Structure 1
Amino acid sequence: MKKKIYFPGLDGLRFITAFFVIILHIEQIKYLFSYPNRWNNPFIFNAGDLAVTMFFVLSGFIITFLLLNEKRFFGRISMKNFYMRRILRIWPLYFFVVSIGLFILPKISFLYMPGLSESMSGNFIYKSILFMLMLPNAVLALGWATPFISQAWSIGVEEQFYLVWPWILRSVKRYLWAMVGIIIVMVGLSNFISFLSWHGGTVFGFSKVSLDVLAFLRNYLWIFRISCMAIGGIGAYILFCRKDKILNVIFRRDVQLLTLILLFILVYNGVYISYVHHEFYSLFFCIIILNVAANEKSILKLSKEPLIFLGKISYGIYMYHLIAIILSINMMRYMNIADFTKVMPNIELYVMSILLTVGISSLSYFLFEKRFLDMKRRFTKITKED
């Protein structure tokens, strides 16, 4: 027997996070081509960066809620089923995009990217190995250039989260304390390594090799945001256990408005919170997710088409969007209409990039990904309908 869980609106939330990433990368690629851009605009940069953090919180929320319910209804968490579901969802598209991004797209001159295309061959074997081992976040932490597929770093973080999270939920009884402990440990470790990497040479006399290793660990931990996923997990725990006193406060209209307004002000002004930047914003995201998922009176109404469909193809949108942006800007360069000092060419670039991304992602979803998604059913006990 299968149990169905319905979270209205979370697909729409997924698309919104992907959309902000697209905006950030359009401006970043304009910067790489030395065109006028807004890549360093505080709102655009912060919104794009934090959109990935929101996706991590959302992932932690959904995975935790599904696993807790599986444990409740069936007495245990099936590791085989969990990993088969994740493999069928993530691996086919990941390895397809990574393969063409490593071995085919760099050879197409029309997809040239200034600065990045030239450096693609550097450490190529090591890059390829790390990508194939699903460690793209390690490539990013090392600072190695990978046009077309650099966005895959977050997929690596997700995969590493999947490696440990079901075992934690399967093993512990005090879920809340386990998740709080993970947050404290990861925040403390990240900041400790960061301190050593920046000051280890002058304070402790560390060698250059030691400092290089610490710099890698600093970067790796900075993007390995399992603490943000744990915050999403706490949100799932609150909903799972029906902590009504907490939920009643979170669901209040004034709390929702305050959360959205304060979040907008902070992101718009590019406010950075030292030591706990992503964790701080994750608290806002968790409140938003709980309302969108479980509050019938949520201010944000995202359970409507076309947001639902765009959310369903959001994985493809995220994986294909860099290819679509690079193709769009090079098409405009070829047609000699890439004058981004004017408004109209910017609009054309955005429209072309988004339409290409959605078009490619839709084809990929129906012609490629859906075959594997249909296979997930045989490994599913708790089904979700977002």
Structure 2
Amino acid sequence: MALPHLEALLKEKKLPGLDGFRMVAVMAVVFAHSGVGTLFFSARHGVAGFFVLSGFLITWLLLKEHEKTGTISFRNFYMRRSLRIFPAYYAFLLVSISWDLFRGNDDIKDAIVPGLFYFMNYHNALEGHSSSSIGHVWSLAIEEQFYLIWPMLFVFLMRCGREYAVAFLIIASLVVLAWRSYSYTYLDYGPSYVYNAFDTRFDNLALGCLLAFLAQKPRWLTVFDGISSRFWMPFIPLGLLFLSKQYGSSDYAYGPAFTIDALLLAILLLQLIRLSSGRFWGWLNHPVSIYLGVISYPIYLWHVWGLQAGDKLNFLPEWLQLLAGVIISGMLASASYHFLEKRFLRLKHRYVVKGPRISNSSMAENPQSMDGMKARERWS
């Protein structure tokens, strides 16, 4: 059976393969934190995969809204993000902070304020990775900072034209790469800073945003179709990710590697969107993969608790402790999703943009909109 073209898949309401990609990314983190390495993915790659996916998906949605209405509703965007993120996050913080205070873990005291206000990434960057049960939410802080900044920047760039947006994302990625390499190698900021700080990780998100822009350009879609036309093609970026993880100095690992890995993950993401419609990669769209992808967010939140619970089952062999930890993580995540998150997710439809596509007459009345249309025509 012939694979559908990416152009057709990217017009679907729900992109195929994304939940499977989320599942792979979150399980890479879970297994890495359990002490079990993976062949291609590490925790670094799993987190970077989430960053790339977030940049791509948020920008893809913003582009669809902008095409439909000619602008972005900040209120609707932030309400949808709040309903998706805050209930599970603050429920997790409440339980984790209470437990750490109860068991006398003093590290939690310094982490409470950064955790509550999404600055855990800079807390870890400046103070070292917290040993509290909320230390791993640093990556969620980076994503929240991205959600706060990117829609406003997106609107500004779209007023200038898509070419400017693409140029900005490329330049921003290169600037972040240079700044991260310089701060690690010459300023001696250390691995904690370059790994956790938003200003040293924005390139991961920017490359995902760039991918969404390029995926609307016909000649790039032709390229993307070409590199996702055979089932074996994803093994090329996977193999390069493996080499990037295994080889190179620390200057490479905490410098160019973050950008190179994000670029490879962006290519892999597009390949899997298309190839998940085929037989070999079809497991990415299996109901189990989709479900684990749907609950990947609470899995990430609760997996430290699950793994620690598995470790306490000392009467079991190590592999069964690990299996128990993964199962407990899944159970906690499922409880979070079904008993808490879904109640709020049902409200998201109230903040879905339903505005009509801009008409030619309205564009004639609005020269700025006409300029925007001309820019889109040049882009396509």
Report how far residue 244 of structure 1 moved: 2.9
**Cα shift at 1:134:** 1.1
Structure 2 CA distance for aligned equivalents of residues 91 and 59 of structure 1: 16
Match in the other structure for 1:83: 78
Contact kept? 1:56, 1:228, Cα under 8 Å: yes
Q: Pick from 281, 298, 316 the counterpart of residue 300 of structure 1.
A: 281
Residue 328 (1) aligns with residue 336 (2):
no
Aligned sequence identity (%): 26
2:374 aligns with none
Instruction: Tell me how many residue pairs correspond in the alignment.
Output: 332
SS at match of 2:287: coil
Counterpart position of 2:187: 197
Deviation of 1:53 after TM superposition, in Å, equals: 0.6
Equivalent residues in 2 for 1:313-352, closer than 5 Å: 313-330=295-312, 332-333=313-314, 337=315, 345-352=317-324
Distance in 1, matches of 2:100 and 2:309, equals 11
Distance 1:24 1:170 in 2: 38
Cα displacement string for residues 322-345 of structure 1 (whole angstroms, at most 9, x for unaligned residues): 001111212x13xxx26xxxxxx1
In structure 2, the residue matched to 1:161 is 146
**What letter matches 1:165 in structure 2?**
W
Q: Within the alignment, does 1:241 sit opposite 2:222 as a pair? A: no
TM-fit CA distance, 1:135? 0.9
Check 1:268–1:135 CA distance in 2 against 1; reply closer, same or farther (3 A cut). Answer: closer
* 1:258-295 deviation digits (Å, cap 9, x = unpaired): 52452364267355645211111112211111122245
What is the CA–CA distance in structure 2 between the aligned matches of 1:20 and 1:190, rounded to whole Å? Answer: 24
Q: Name the counterpart of 2:338.
A: 366
Gaps of 5+ in 1: 28-37, 109-116, 199-210, 339-344
TM-score using structure 1 length: 0.78
| Higher relative contact order (Cα pairs below 8 Å, separated by 6+ residues) | 1
Distance in 2 between the 1:248 and 1:12 partners? 20
Aligned to 2:4: none
* 1:150-192 alpha-carbon deviations (Å, 9 max, x no partner): 2211100100111111112111122211111210221122222
The CA distance in 2 between the partners of 1:365 and 1:317, in whole Å, is: 10
Cα pair distance change 1:149/1:44, threshold 3 Å: farther
Look up the match of 1:227.
Answer: 203
Cα distance in 2 for residues equivalent to 1:170 and 1:222: 21
**Which residue of 5, 8, 30 maps to 2:13?**
5
Aligned residue identity for 1:262 = G
Distance (whole Å) between structure 1 residues aligned to residue 209 and residue 74 of structure 2: 18
| TM, length-normalised to structure 2 | 0.79
Matched AA of 1:131: G
CA 1:57 to 1:216, structure 2 compared with 1: closer, same or farther past 3 Å? closer
1:25-174 correspondence runs (5 A)? 25-27=33-35, 43=38, 47-108=42-103, 120-122=105-107, 124-141=108-125, 142-172=127-157, 173=161, 174=164
For residue 180 of structure 1, give the secondary structure of its aligned residue in structure 2. Answer: helix
1:186-212, Cα deviation, whole Å (9 max, x unpaired):
1122222224432xxxxxxxxxxxx7x
Once the two structures are TM-superposed, the CA of residue 148 in structure 1 deviates from its matched residue by: 2.0
Counterpart-to-counterpart distance in 2, 1:261 and 1:68? 29
Structure 1 vs Structure 2 CA RMSD: 2.7
For the structure 1 residues 44 and 136, does the alpha-carbon distance in structure 2 shift closer, same or farther, using more than 3 Å as the test?
farther
Q: Is the 8 A contact 1:291 1:298 kept in 2?
A: no
Amino acid at match of 1:359: M
Are the equivalent residues in 2 in contact too, given 1:15–1:307 (CA < 8 A)? yes
Task: Tell me the distance in 1 between the aligned counterparts of 2:198 and 2:39.
Answer: 20
Q: For residue 287 of structure 1, what is the aligned residue in structure 2?
A: 267
